[in-house]
Structure 1
Amino acid sequence: MSGALTGRRVLYTGASGGLGHQTTLDFLAAGAEVFAIDRDHSKNARLLEDTPPGAAERLHLLEMDLTDQPALEAKLAEITAERPIDVVLNNAAIYPSKPFEDYAMEELRAVHQVNVESALICTRAALPGMRAQGWGRIVNVTSITLSGGWENLAPYVQSKGALLGLTRAWAREFGKWGITCNAIAPGAFPTDAEKIHPDPEGYVKFVMDHQSVKRRGTPHDIAATILFLASDGAGFISGQTIAVDGGWIMH
C-alpha cells in the first residue's frame, strides 16, 4: 500500500490506542496526512516516537477530549478551511462494564457522547469538502458485541448499534456524491480493552474457542482492512460491515 493514499487527508479519532496506533502508522506509510485525535498523552507520545522521521510532518497529533464538543468543532473548522478531509475514521470509544441497572444516566450519556456524537461531528465537518470534490471515505468502527454474546456492556453495545445504523444511512445518502461509508467490526484483540475482564486466561480461552482462525488478531489485521476501505479500490463497496474477527461471527 506504499504511496496508495498519497495526498489524502485522514481524520482519525482514537488514533493512538491499541488498534489505532498501527493503523495511523500504516496510513502514514501509504502516503496519507493524518489528523490523529486522542486524549491519552502517553499513547500520543508513543505514536510520535514510532513515527518514521520522513513521515512526521504528515502526522498532526491533536490531544483533545471528545466530550469538549465546541473545541472539537472549532479544530475541525480550522482543518477543513485549508483543504477537504478525504477519509474519516470514527474509532474512538469508551467501554465501561457493569450491570445495566448500575449505570447512572450521566454515564450512559457519556458513552454516547464519545462513541457516537464525536462521529456525528467529525462526519458533518468533513462532508461539505467530500461532496464538493466528489470523493470521500467514511469508516465507522463497530463491534462484534452487536451479535449479543456479551453482557454488562449495554451502553457500549448501544453506541455501536447507533454507528451501524449511521453507516447504512450515510452510505445511502452520500453515495450520490462519490462518498462511501462502511463499518468494520473488530473481534477480540489483545488491547487495553481486555483489562476489564477479571479472568484474563479464561477470556483468552473463550476467544480461541470461538474463533475459527486459531491465533490472536493483530493491529495489522485491522489496519489492512481500514486502508482497503479508504482506497480507490473500495469505491464500489458501501453500507457494508466487515467483521475482522478470525471467523467468529459469520453472516
Structure 2
Amino acid sequence: MKCTLAERLTGHHTRPMETRTALVTGAAQGLGQEFAVALAGRGYRVAGLDLVPQPETAGKVLDYLELVGDVTDEEQVRAGLERVIDQFGALHVVVNNAGVYPAKPFEETTAEDWRRVMRVNLEAPFLVTQAALPYLKAAGWGRIVNIASAAVFTAPPAMVPYVASKTGLIGFTRALAAALGPYDITVNAIAPSMVRTATAERTVGADGGFEFIRDRQAVQRTQEPSDLVSTLLYVVDEGSAFLTGQTLNVSGGSAFL
C-alpha cells in the first residue's frame, strides 16, 4: 500500500521505514559516503559497494552491509546484490554514484583511458541496475538515482571522455524511466557541480579546479557533499512517484536548463 498525503505529512507510514533498503555504489568516501549516511538517517538499511573496504562509512551507519567489489564486474555485482537480499530481504533504492573523472587533454587520451571511463561511469550503472531490477520489482516500487554531472552542460575541454560518459548516463536515465514506469520504479539523475571530495582534491584541486568552477557559478562557493543530500532524499521519497526521467541540475548555477 502507498502512503496517503496525511500519512506522509504526519510521518505515519503504512510501510514501516525499517523495511527499506538502499544500495549505494562508491560508498567508501566522499559523495557516496554522504548519501549512505543520509539514507541511514532516514531509516534505511544501507549496503555500500566499493572497490575498497568502507570502515569509515560503516562506522557512521548503524545497519550497514559492506560490499567490496568492482562495479564493472558483472559477477561481482550480482554476488553483491545476492548478499543484500540474503541480509536485508529486500531492495528499494539504488544510487549509482561510483565514477571516475580523469582530466587530460583530448589529444593525450588513450583508448584505454576512454574505455575505463565508459566502463565505470556508464557500463557499471547498467550492470548494477540490471542486477537490482528483479529485487526492485519484487518490492513493488523502487527508486534508481544516477549521479551525472553538470559538466554535461558546461563541457570542460579537458574532460571529453567524462562528459561523454555522463551524457550517456542521462540518456540511460531517460530511456530506463520509460521502460520501468509500469513497475512503479522511477529513474532520475542528479547533476552536481565539482564536489569537494578527497578524489577531487587529488585530481583537480591542486590545479585550481575548484576556484575555476566556483567563479563560474551563481553560488560563489565550492560544492560540498552535503549540498546534494536534500535532493537525493527528495528523489527517493515514496511521495516522488511522479518524478521520473529527469535530471536535476544541482550545480550552484554553473548552468541553467
TM-score, normalising length: structure 1: 0.88
- Pair 1:46 & 2:56 matched: yes
Match of 2:28 in 1: 16
Identity of aligned residues (%): 36
Match of 2:203 in 1: 196
Q: Secondary structure at the match of 1:65?
A: coil
- Unmatched segments (≥5 aa) in structure 2: 1-7
Write the letter of the residue equivalent to 1:46: E
Q: Secondary structure at the match of 1:210?
A: coil
Quote the RMSD (CA, aligned, Å): 2.3
Whether the 8 Å contact between 1:3 and 1:30 is mirrored in structure 2 is no
Whether the 8 Å contact between 1:6 and 1:30 is mirrored in structure 2 is no
Matches within 5 A, 1:138-177: 138-177=144-183
Matches within 5 A, 1:97-246: 97-191=103-197, 192-197=199-204, 200=207, 202-246=208-252
- Output one character per residue of 1:95-115: Cα deviation in whole Å (capped at 9) or x when no partner: 122122323322221221111
Write the letter of the residue equivalent to 1:59: Y
Whether the 8 Å contact between 1:77 and 1:125 is mirrored in structure 2 is no
Aligned length: 243
Match of 2:71 in 1: 66
- Unmatched segments (≥5 aa) in structure 1: none
- Distance change >3 Å, CA 99–CA 208, structure 1 → 2: closer
Match of 2:5 in 1: none
Match of 1:89 in 2: 95
Supply the distance in 1 between the matched residues of 2:255 and 2:103 (Cα, whole angstroms).
Answer: 22
TM-score, normalising length: structure 2: 0.86
Q: Secondary structure at the match of 1:47?
A: helix
Report the Cα offset of residue 198 of structure 1: 6.8
Write the letter of the residue equivalent to 2:204: H
- Distance change >3 Å, CA 34–CA 112, structure 1 → 2: same
Supply the distance in 1 between the matched residues of 2:112 and 2:155 (Cα, whole angstroms).
Answer: 25
- Pair 1:7 & 2:12 matched: no
- Distance change >3 Å, CA 184–CA 13, structure 1 → 2: same
Supply the distance in 2 between the matched residues of 1:235 and 1:158 (Cα, whole angstroms).
Answer: 29
Match of 1:33 in 2: 45
- Output one character per residue of 1:58-101: Cα deviation in whole Å (capped at 9) or x when no partner: 10111212233322222223434663321010110111221223
Supply the distance in 1 between the matched residues of 2:66 and 2:37 (Cα, whole angstroms).
Answer: 12
